[in-house]
Structure 1
Amino acid sequence: MNQIDTILTLIAQKHLGIETLETRSSDSLDFHDTAVWCIRDALEAAFKAGVEVGISLPAPTEADIARD
């Protein structure tokens, strides 16, 4: 599991009450009723996590930007 998957799984567990983000091929395990305020909290946590990861990355050089 990479860093993004780990972060997303932790957010799903904490804010949405979802044990795993892996497909388990069962409607009762793969589909969830979730309150909108929980979804908002999860999205806010994901945004903040993205900001934190972005801050920790080195600034791109001109060569990096030119490659994109």
Structure 2
Amino acid sequence: MNDKAAHLDQTNALLAEIARTHLGLPTLEERRSDSLDFHDLAVWSVKAALEAAFEAGRRAAKEG
């Protein structure tokens, strides 16, 4: 696996973790079912997820 693919895998894993932790979503994969792919979310959950993603990007920029 090349560096770009490894970075993409890492990013996808981080986004999936943020989705699980802050949004209660078990997966970010499309499952082709409205009841599985559409969710009602509280705005504070969305805000927390966005803050976590922003902080992850900020940390990555400092490291890289």
1:30-49 to 2 correspondence within 5 Å?
A: 30-49=37-56
Q: Distance in 1 between matches of 2:32 and 2:43?
A: 25
Matched, 1:20 2:27: yes
Higher helix share: 2
Task: Supply the distance in 2 between the matched residues of 1:7 and 1:51 (Cα, whole angstroms).
Answer: 13
One-letter amino acid of the structure 2 residue matched with residue 12 of structure 1? A
TM-score by length of 2: 0.85
Give the letter aligned to residue 56 of structure 1.
Answer: E
Between structure 1 and structure 2, the one with the greater Rg is 1
**CA-based RMSD:** 1.0
- Between Structure 1 and Structure 2, how many residues are aligned? 57
Cα distance in 2 for partners of 1:55, 1:2 equals 20
- What CA distance in whole angstroms lies between the structure 2 residues aligned with 1:52 and 1:7? 13
Q: What is the DSSP-based 3-state SS (H/G/I as helix, E as strand, rest coil) of the residue aligned with 1:2?
A: helix
Offset, 1:56: 1.0
Please identify runs of 4+ aligned residues in structure 1 that moved more than 4 A.
none
Which 5+ residue runs of structure 1 have no aligned equivalent?
Answer: 58-68
Identity of matched residues, %: 53
